[in-house]
Amino acid sequence: MSTQLATKMKDHIAGTFWGGDDKGTMIQITAVNGPYLQFTLSESAALVNTLSEFITCECERRQGLLKQQIEDLKMDSKTVFAEIANLPRSLLEVPTISVQMVEQFCPKSFEKEVAA
């Protein structure tokens, strides 16, 4: 028997199930229209660490892009963009709040316009 977990993922669902005496409780991530992945407790912990590091590094990279845009545009430093661009690393390690802010305001990529 499995228990569905509340998640904000749009294309995946998550649930826990008993993997037997060998594995204990496991988590399963299932793509809405596709395959699934199953993780033990230790595998889940390793994945969380990997995902947390990815989230922190990607947020820092996007912050750098935003800082460069602010500099290129000579934007006032008293804007919400400047505040997000200068969030401390410790806040980037709390994915729920920081990722929402970074996703909303920081660019995913940045191509500098070249003057012709």
pLDDT digits (tens, 9 = 90+) for 13-22: 899 888 888 8
Is 30 inside any structural domain? Answer: yes
Structural domain count, the chain:
2
Model-level pTM greater than 0.75? no
* Cα–Cα dist 13/4, whole Å: 8
Q: For the chain, what is the mean pLDDT?
A: 79
Q: In sequence order, what E strands does 1-116 have?
A: 2-5, 12-18, 25-31, 36-39
**In this structure, are 34 and 50 located in the same domain?**
no
**In this structure, are 34 and 76 located in the same domain?**
no
Is 110 inside any structural domain? Answer: no
Residues 6+ away with beta carbon under 8 Å from 48 = none
């998640």: which residue's tokens?
Answer: 7
Q: Tell me the mean pLDDT in the region 53-72.
A: 84
The region of weakest confidence among 25-29, 48-52, 53-57, 82-86 is: 82-86
**In this structure, are 65 and 91 located in the same domain?**
yes
**Does residue 76 or residue 116 have the better pLDDT?**
76
Is 80 inside any structural domain? Answer: yes
pLDDT digits (tens, 9 = 90+) for 71-107: 887 766 667 777 777 777 776 666 566 667 777 777 7
- Structure tokens, 71: 């500099």
**In this structure, are 59 and 10 located in the same domain?**
no
- The domain containing residue 30 runs over which residues? 2-39
Q: Tell me the mean pLDDT in the region 55-69.
A: 85
